[in-house]
């Protein structure tokens, strides 16, 4: 059994949610220390890890990043953590890359940093790592993600994945309870929430933009069926291929929610639960990745850059530290039935290919 699959098998069976990756980070940090890396644990008070390999010679600082957290699911009525986004695969690939780079003689110049990040799914892990100083000295930062089968099959890889910006908006409408027979004495929070859903659906941005806004949760219950509910919670998922489009979309959505509450005489508390920026990708970093993919998978294995409506908190690093050259690629793994599906699975042989691509990237920058 290869190191990569061994790491994957262990990590896959200890899924942990964001900022709770205690067993996961301990396993990874122990392996890195055993390999000979300088390891710093608990970055910024989290489960984050930074491992450093020095060449002893001047040169650039290259960082490879992997995410560690699992997703929360309700399965058979039970709340469980499960690796359904492939972060266990990402961690296994980057951990093995680090081990093999050191075992094969290390690097010729500069410094290699290995980042294992918590809470990607929460959208705040990259922010916590950045605020903890993890990338202050980094010149180039590379990350990757396993891709669904319909987007990129086994044996191919995408040199640049252009993710979309996303935001999760929660609105809690506050009305006034009343008997169902005397609705004029109350303020129906359900009506205000339902009106807000329709108002957001009526938003129209320029057709030249790629965007969407849709309600994904509506919670309202007075406890009985003959009372006017005094509170309703609605959550919206917002997407935009461009950061500028997200700024406009978010402003329009917030205005629609506030106006709907006002129209019904309700009040509303609005929170942005999560935000992720659209992709910020550097041409030089993409060139390094493309050359590495071509070396490992051949010309037929290198696809064109691709766009996805999904979001990725990796791009917070580049939003917060715009001087860094960032690259983010996608690895084909025959992944089905889809990311975040409770039964997601993929061809584990793809993990070894991911290691080879990352090792080639390291040689090209620090060799």
Arithmetic mean of pLDDT, 149-154 = 97
pLDDT category, 220, cuts 50, 70, 90?
Answer: very high
Question: CA torsion 252→254→260→261, rounded to 10°?
Answer: -160
Arithmetic mean of pLDDT, 197-222 = 97
Query: Is the preceding peptide bond at 337 cis, omega within 30 degrees of 0?
Result: yes
Residue 124, pLDDT score: 96
The CATH code of domain 165-276 reads 3.30.70.360
CB neighbours (10 Å) of residue 99? 21
Annotation: CATH topology of 3-163+279-366: Aminopeptidase (3.40.630)
Residue 41 has pLDDT above 80, yes or no: yes
Quick: pLDDT tens for 176-191. Answer: 999 999 999 999 999 9
Residue 292, pLDDT score: 98
Q: Which residues 6+ apart lie within 8 Å of 315 measured at CB? A: 126, 163, 276, 277, 278, 279, 280, 326, 328
Handedness of CA 291, 294, 300, 302 (dihedral sign): negative
CA nearest neighbour of 328 among 63, 134, 149 = 63
Q: What average pLDDT does the chain have?
A: 97
Residue 1, pLDDT score: 63
Arithmetic mean of pLDDT, 50-70 = 98
3-state secondary structure of 367: coil
Q: What is the C-alpha separation between 197 and 71, in angstroms, rounded?
A: 27
Residue 2, pLDDT score: 86
The residue written with tokens 């508390």 in the block is 269
Q: Strands across the sheet with 267-276, in order?
A: 211-219, 231-240, 165-174, 267-276
Quick: pLDDT tens for 221-256. Answer: 999 999 999 999 999 999 999 999 999 999 999 999
Domain ranges of the chain: 3-163+279-366, 165-276
Residue 311 has pLDDT above 90, yes or no: yes
């Amino acid at each position: 059994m290869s190191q990569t699959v061994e790491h994957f098998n262990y990590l896959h069976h200890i899924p942990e949610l964001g900022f709770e990756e205690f067993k996961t980070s301990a396993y990874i940090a122990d392996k890195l220390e055993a390999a000979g890396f300088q390891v710093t644990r608990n970055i910024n008070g989290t489960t984050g890890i930074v491992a450093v390999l020095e060449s002893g010679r001047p040169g650039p600082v290259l960082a490879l990043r992997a995410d560690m957290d699992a997703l929360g699911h309700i399965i058979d009525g039970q709340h469980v953590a499960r690796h359904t986004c492939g972060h266990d695969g990402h961690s296994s690939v980057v951990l093995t890359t680090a081990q093999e780079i050191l075992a094969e003689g290390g690097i010729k110049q500069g410094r290699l940093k290995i980042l294992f990040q918590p809470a990607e799914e929460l959208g705040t892990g990259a922010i916590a790592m950045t605020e903890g100083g993890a990338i202050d000295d980094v010149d180039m930062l590379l990350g990757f993600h396993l891709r669904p089968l319909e987007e990129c099959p086994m044996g191919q890889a995408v040199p640049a994945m252009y993710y979309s910006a996303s935001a999760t908006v929660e609105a809690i409408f506050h009305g006034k309870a009343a008997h169902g027979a005397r609705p004029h004495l109350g303020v129906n929070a359900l009506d205000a929430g339902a009106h807000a859903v329709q108002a957001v659906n009526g938003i129209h941005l320029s057709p030249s933009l790629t965007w969407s806004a849709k309600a994904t949760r509506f919670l309202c219950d007075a406890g009985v069926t003959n009372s006017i509910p005094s509170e309703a919670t609605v959550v919206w998922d917002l997407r935009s291929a461009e950061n500028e489009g997200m700024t406009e979309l978010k402003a329009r959505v917030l205005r629609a929610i506030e106006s709907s509450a006002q129209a019904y005489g309700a009040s509303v508390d609005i929170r942005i639960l999560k935000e992720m920026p659209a992709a910020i990708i550097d041409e030089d970093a993409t060139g390094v990745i493309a050359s590495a993919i071509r070396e490992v998978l051949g010309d037929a294995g290198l696809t064109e850059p691709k766009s996805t409506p999904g979001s990725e908190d990796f791009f917070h690093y580049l939003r917060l530290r715009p001087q860094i050259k960032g690259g983010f690629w996608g690895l084909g793994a025959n992944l089905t039935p889809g990311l975040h599906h409770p039964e997601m699975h993929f061809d584990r042989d793809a993990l070894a290919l991911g290691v080879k691509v990352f090792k080639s990237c390291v040689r090209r920058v620090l060799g």
